[in-house]
Amino acid sequence: MSGGADQRTVLLCVTGCIAAYKSCEILRLLQKQGYRVKVLMTEHATRFVGPTTFRALTHEKVAIGLFDDPEDPIHHISLAREADAVLVAPATANIIAKMANGIADDLMSTTLLATDAPVFVAPAMNAGMLHAAATQENLERLRQRGVTLIAPGTGYLACGTVDAGRLEEPHIIAQTVLDALEATDELSGLHVLVTAGPTHEPIDPVRYIANRSSGKMGYAIAREARRMGAQVTLVSGPTELRAPAGVELVSVETAAEMHEAAIHAFHGADIAICAAAVADYTPVHVASHKLKKRDGRLDAIQLAETTDILAALSSRKEDRVVVGFAAETNDLIDNARAKLASKGCDAIVANDVSREDSGFGTDTNKAWWLDADGTVELPVMEKRELAHEILHRAGTRARKDFTRS
């Protein structure tokens, strides 16, 4: 049930925590994606952010007390029924305990007990409270009941320490809810392997050869594949990104480790999307100690080619689908077409990494899809949109191959 014919409703529950101000950003992120957001606050939450702020942002009444709305004498039931999803962010130890133990003594706890909508909980609290046995038991109880927990991060806390318990970043919280609400079954029954990020090839204990890949494209593909209903294995080189919820993460460092992990994961996969920027070369000898400067120069480092992961998967693919990436700075289509022919994969996604809207670390990408049928130029898209386009094309091919076999 939603607030309009085409608009779905998220009930945002805000509890008494210093991180309550971040709920405003979460709210705006959900609104930007077309969702109606209603806000339910505890009395203590109003000490941190005033209800007027949320009224101004939502143009809706803000629910606080059980008997605040004389027009709705059973307010907790109407709120529970109206929501397509319920998000508690920030969630204190107190509301988590109430949820876990079925306590219903205010408007928020009664609404949470009454709803049958998907519930998401983003904890935020002092590290001691988070690690307490009671809190951990309550979180586990909620997890077993099907509540989606958005784990807190580590950072500077209000108590002055740096530890776990910091509310997860608003964009991650919002995206977790959006992914669940917008989930499809397009790739249901398929297992998608994604490689992502750079590799680090060690020179000595402190130096390595790498590239500028942020991993954003590969992680977007993994997240979107999960949203489309696939089982997903993400083999990732070193990045600062957090693995999407519901995705199996295999962390690696070197090209050799990525090759081994990808080959292993490919045994059970139906589709492989090789988005990682794997180093082409690795040092033959890795120094056991930090190399020192010698007269302003470093002696030559002997390099050897790394194993070609895309070619290795393609040679084993049989009726499975393998898609590679070609990050180019010149002769884009010619180089991508040559890569498609030499690697033996089903398709290549080519992108010009010299462009400002398509380079490493950007949130958008300009790409071309190349396969045996020709070349399709795609418009500049957000990486999530491009991920969907790639997976739709790969999934369509995989389904056809299943039909033929």
Structure tokens of 222?
Answer: 């993994």
- Torsional sign, CA 40, 41, 43, 46: negative
Say if CB 152 and CB 172 are below 8 A apart. no
* Residue length of the chain: 405
- Cis check for the bond before 90: say yes or no (omega within 30 of 0): yes
Tally of CA atoms within 13 A in the half-sphere of 374 that contains its CB? 3
Active site (annotated) includes residue 159? yes
Beta bridge partners of 233: 193, 248
Catalytic: which of 13, 159, 274, 345? 159
Say if CB 313 and CB 262 are below 8 A apart. yes
* Active-site annotation, residues: 159
